[in-house]
Every structure is written in C-alpha cells, then in structure tokens.
A and B are shown apart, each in its own frame.
Chain A
Amino acid sequence: METVERNLEQGTSDQRWDAARVAAQLPDGLRLLSRAMSVERDPHVREAILTGLARIGTPESAEAVLPDLRSDDSQLRATALDALRAMPSATGVHLPRLLRDADPDVRLLACDLVRGQSAADAGRLLGEVLAQDSEANVCAAAVEVLAETGGPNLLPLLKQCASRFPDDPFLAFAIRVAGERLGAQR
C-alpha cells in the first residue's frame, strides 16, 4: 500500500495511473483516491482515480467527486458526472442536497444524475424541483428527465410548474411535450 500511496503522490504519470487503478482494491483506497482527486491534474490519471472511486461506490467516494460539479472547467464537470453516473446508489444519497444547492448550475447537473435513480425516487426528487425551484432552466432539466422516467401521476405537478413560470415559452413548450408523453401512458 505504501508503494501505491507513494506512486500516487510522487510517481510519473504512468505510475500514478497504475497506482490509481489498483488503489480502489486497497483497504485505505478511499483515502488515497480522495486525496489524489484533490491534487491530480493529469486528465488521464484522473480518469483512473474516478473509476476507482466509482468502484468503491460509497457515499463517501461519491462525495470526493462532488467538488468537480462546481468547476469552471466543463471537462472536469463532464468527467465528474460520468463517474457519478457509474455509482448511482452512492450518488443518490447526495441528490436531495444537490438539488437544493444554492448554485443553479449544480442543481441542473443534479437533475441529470437523477436519471440513474429508480422511477419512484426520480419522481419524488424531481417533483420537489418542479414545485419549488426558482430557476426555469433547472425546472426544464427536471422536466426533461421526468419525460423519460415519469408517469401520468406527475401531470398535475407539471401543470403547476408551468403556472409558476407563465412568461417562459421554452419551459411551457417542454412541459407540454412531456405532458403529452406522460399522458399517453394512461
């Protein structure tokens, strides 16, 4: 384990990649990978770190990935989302908090992560977004996911959401399309 830790911290890119690939199987893997995640800048090595965290697949390993959702770098956000999608159970624990985050961009990304949850959980989580979120874009992201995962029971919530944003033509359009799709399941 000491070799893995040393290589993760001081090794060449190849050594850090190899170390990141085996770290998830070590007893202290979460600590090693979480620390590497906070300092590693090589995208290639970061991929292996993210895969390792996904392999561990606990709420704690998902937690180590969450800071990247706030990054200004779209590539970092995208790779973090991919890793979180690979551990849906672990990510699910964090979703209620992420969906209430002060940053609407984080809430928007969190809506996409709800896709990995069960249909019942997705309906519950995104139903709250439709009812309460102050940003039309976040609601639109929730509508997009619900159109794929939801059922006709969500139609009243969609209608209520549309009424909260009467001046937003895009959201109205998205809700109409989603409503037609969900209504067709009756």
Chain B
Amino acid sequence: MVFNESKRYFVERRISERMVATARTKFTDYFAHLRNEVQGEVEHLINAFTVNETYFYREDHQLECMSKDLLRDRTLTKPPGDTVRIWSAPCSTGEEPYSIAIWLLENWPQADTYNIEIVGSDIDTRVLEAAAEGIFGKRALMRLSPELIARYFHPLDDERWQILDDLRLSVRFSRVNLIETEETRREGKFDVIFCRNVLIYFDNESRRIAAENLYDSLLPGGYICLGHTESMSRISPLFEVRRFSDAIVYRRPWEKTA
C-alpha cells in the first residue's frame, strides 16, 4: 500500500484510533508497542488502514443490484419525474456517493426519468470537506476504466483527478452521526441506503440505536445495503432479508407484523 501526501490525514487518523484502542497517549509509546508486535498490533494497524480505505466502484455487485433490482422495485409506484433518494452513510471522502452517481448515469436507463437525489453523510467534517472537493488519487480510481475517468473527471496533475463540477455539485454532503436520532431524522426518508462497513465497529448498544435510526430513515419498502461481512439479521430483526442475483440486501417491510 502506498499513501501519498493527500492521504496523510487518513494515516494520522488510523494511528490515532489504534493509540486509543491500545491506551497509548504518546506516539513513542504506541510505536514501541507496534514494533514489539504486542497482541498482534501490526495486523490491527494494517486492518485499520485496509478496512477504511475506499475506492470507486467498491463492491460493485451492490451497485449492479441497485440499478437492476432495487430501483426497479422502488420506481414501480413512482411516476416519472418523482424523486428517488439514495443515502451513502458513512460516505468518507466521497468515493461511494460519486460511484452511485456515475453508476446510475452509466447503467440505469431511467436515470433521466427520475429526479435522483444522492446524499453523502459522515460524522467527520474533514472527510466531508474532502468529499465536496472531489479530488482523488490513482488508488481511489483503480476500478474505473480510462473511459469513465475521462468522462467524469478532469486531471489536476499526474496523480490527482477532480470529479466534474456537474457531478460534484449534484451530491449533497452533510454531517451525521448515525447513532443520533435527531441528526439522522433531519436527512429525511430514503429509497436506498448504503451503510457499509461501519455497524461492525459499533458496540451492541450503539448498533441497535443505529439500526433503528436507519430503519426510520427508510421509506416503507426501502432497501439498505451493508458491507459484505455484515448481516442486518444479526444486528436487528427489524429488516427483511432480500436475496437478489447480485447481492443480499435488507428491506424495511411494507407492513409491520402487528
């Protein structure tokens, strides 16, 4: 893995998290802890980097599922011109919400028929600023073809590309803590939520609260996509499991059981 200067903040943040996790207040103490490989710390540190680093078209089978199945279902009862709302939470530095936008433009024939609203939210205001800026390095774009990069980005230099303004300004970013009900409520109701690789890091109580907030943030019949290692069935019995050809997703039921 290579982290250039534009990723300095990520490196600092991951190390800070590991220092908290290992109860080290000074970097020198943590570095000694790391070098002595206490309790598998090297692996913990690597995981901290790999799990949280994201890129365009990550887990694109879910994007395929969205354009092929989820939106078809969600628009069955929506007249043309109606709004389809999609939420990426947490959105980190914007790769996911921009991926959703590009994917829909490329793969959903009805993209022009509906008013698509994409919201990206994160608890961290610094990543949100980076997301709104829309500047990405090679690694973030590695899954995109040169044609897609040429169509949706303009190069800033040899290492960085900025997403085109039309696309950049079409995604709204907001600061949201998923376990604060007032904050999630403020964003309104969505047809599809991407909430990948975050619930697994919450403790049991926070996970329950977040799951209920996400439930409240979905329109009845709306879908939520989790990371491939996560299971909402274990997190909360509020959702129905729906198996599609490209992905297993979870749905807020149309009708409650009582």
Interface set of A (CB-CB < 8 Å, partner B): 13-14, 21, 41-45, 47-48, 50-51, 54-55, 57, 75, 79, 82-83, 85-87
* Beyond A47-B238, A55-B205, 5 additional pairs, beta carbon < 8 A: A42-B256, A44-B257, A47-B236, A54-B204, A55-B209
Given A13-B256, A42-B258, the answer on whether A86 and B208 have CB atoms closer than 8 Å is yes
B255 nearest in chain A by CB position: A13
Q: Report, as a range, how many residues of chain B touch the other chain.
A: 10 to 19
Nearest-neighbour CB distance to chain A for B250, whole angstroms, equals: 14
A22 nearest in chain B by CB position: B181
Contacting residue for A79 out of B212, B216, B237, CB 8 A: B237
With a cutoff of 8 Å between Cβ atoms, the chain A residues found around residue B204 in the complex are 54, 82, 85-86
Contacting residue for A42 out of B208, B209, B212, B257, CB 8 A: B257
B258 adjacent to A21 (CB under 8 Å): no
A47 adjacent to B258 (CB under 8 Å): no
Chain A interface, DSSP helix/strand/loop, else mixed: helix
Interface set of B (CB-CB < 8 Å, partner A): 181, 203-205, 207-209, 212, 216, 236-238, 256-258
**Cα distance, A144 to B36, chains bound together (Å):** 31
B235 nearest in chain A by CB position: A82
Q: List 8 A-B contacts (CB under 8 A).
A: A13-B258, A14-B256, A21-B216, A79-B237, A83-B208, A85-B204, A86-B205, A87-B205
With a cutoff of 8 Å between Cβ atoms, the chain B residues found around residue A43 in the complex are 237, 257-258
A44 adjacent to B212 (CB under 8 Å): no
